[in-house]
Amino acid sequence: MQRIRLRYTKRGRLRFTSHRDFQRAFERALRRSAVPMAYSAGFTPHPKVSYANAAPTGVASEAEYLEIGLAAVRDPEQLRAQLDESLPAGLDVIDAVEVRTPNFVERLEASEWLVRLDGVEPDQAAKAVRTFLAEEKVEVERRTKNGVRVFDARGAVAALEAVEPQVDGGTDTAAGTDRDVRTGRPCAILRLVVRHATPAVRPDDVLSGLRATADLAPPVPAEVTRLAQGPLDEESGTVTDPLALDRAAAPAG
């Protein structure tokens, strides 16, 4: 059985796709593009797909990963293009490698997030970041199915900084200002790197922490995008490509 790892996105309005929604959409795309899937044994066979670490509903992502098992050998790049064509725009398949190394999920050590705070002055955000980072521990609450849970949101944060509000070649803000081009309001942007720990610390939890330590209260919900997930380079506080090992292990040619 050939196995292929794919990187896909949840962009724009399709960030509201839940993980279950994505699974159904992906399995239908497999059928439409007639991918020769390997099936699980048993009374109701399922195509072999495993998903890693999906981003929450409402959060955009440039770096989601999954792995599929095939019953026949396919060229990874052709397969990627085929699946990308078959999925709606916004759910884009952007990378594919043949599996050559084990323990992929363990390799996803951390995620890099971009958090866009509409209506927040960049200076105010930068100040809040400094206050948060100065703390050793920042306790936050999250409502879960089993009631309210209290945990530390500081320890898992490997990097946090307020960055220039310029994304995608500066289309986000009007030239030379920190005003949002769509709303004309101020807009702060945070870059955040969080280790994948237990309990999982999400960008939302870090925002709760910013509120708790520095009274940072954005007037509208933050727009969050996962930019990367993979091995964490502790020194630089950056996340590297989790598919690099498989690529390196591929025979030359």
Partner 1 sequence: MTVESVFPRLEALLPHVQKPIQYVGGELNSTVKDWDACDVRWALMYPDAYEVGLPNQGVMILYEVLNEREGVLAERTYSVWPDLEALMREHRVPQFTVDAHRPVKAFDVFGLSFSTELGYTNMLTALDLAGIPLEAKDRTDEDPIVLAGGHAAFNPEPIADFLDCAVIGDGEQAVLDITEIIRAWKAEGRPGGRDELLLRLARTGGVYVPKFYDVEYLADGRIGRVVPNAPGVPWRVSKHTVMDLDEWPYPKQPLVPLAETVHERMSVEIFRGCTRGCRFCQAGMITRPVRERSITGIGEMVERGLKATGFEEVGLLSLSSADHTEIGDIAKGLADRYTEDKIGLSLPSTRVDAFNIDLANELSRNGRRSGLTFAPEGGSERMRKVINKMVSEEDLIRTVATAYGNGWRQVKLYFMCGLPTETDEDVLQIGEMAKNVIQKGREVTGQNDIRCTVSIGGFVPKPHTPFQWAPQLSAEATDARLAKLRDSIRGDRKYGKNIGYRYHDGKPGIVEGLLSRGDRRVGAVIRAVYEDGGRFDGWREYFSYDRWMASAEKGLAGTGVDVDWYTTRERSYEEVLPWDHLDSGLDKDWLWEDWQDALEEVEVDDCRWTPCFDCGVCPQMDTAIQIGPTGKKLLPLTVVNK
Residues of the shown chain interacting with partner 1 in the complex, contacts defined by CB under 8 A = 13-14, 16-18, 20-22, 24-25, 27-32, 39, 43-45, 57-58, 86, 88-90, 182, 220-221
Spell out where 49-103 has E strands.
49-52, 60-70, 93-98
Residues in the chain: 253
| Tokens describing residue 218 | 């954005």
Residue 100 or 142 having the CB closest to partner 1? 142
CB of 73 to partner 1, least distance (A): 19
Residue 2 phi/psi, 5-degree rounding, is: -85, 135
Cα–Cα dist 193/229, whole Å: 9
Residue 16 or 149 having the CB closest to partner 1? 16
Residue 16 or 106 having the CB closest to partner 1? 16
Query: Are the CB atoms for 226 and 61 separated by under 8 Å?
Result: yes
SS3 118: strand
Cα–Cα dist 69/71, whole Å: 7
CB of 100 to partner 1, least distance (A): 29
CB of 219 to partner 1, least distance (A): 10
CB of 105 to partner 1, least distance (A): 25
Which residues are within 8 A (CB) of 125 and not within 5 positions of it... i.e. 6 or more apart? 117, 162, 188, 189, 190, 216
CB of 28 to partner 1, least distance (A): 3
Residue 58 or 237 having the CB closest to partner 1? 58
Cα–Cα dist 96/243, whole Å: 8
Residue 9 or 86 having the CB closest to partner 1? 86
Residue 130 or 211 having the CB closest to partner 1? 211
Query: Are the CB atoms for 175 and 166 separated by under 8 Å?
Result: no
CB of 71 to partner 1, least distance (A): 12
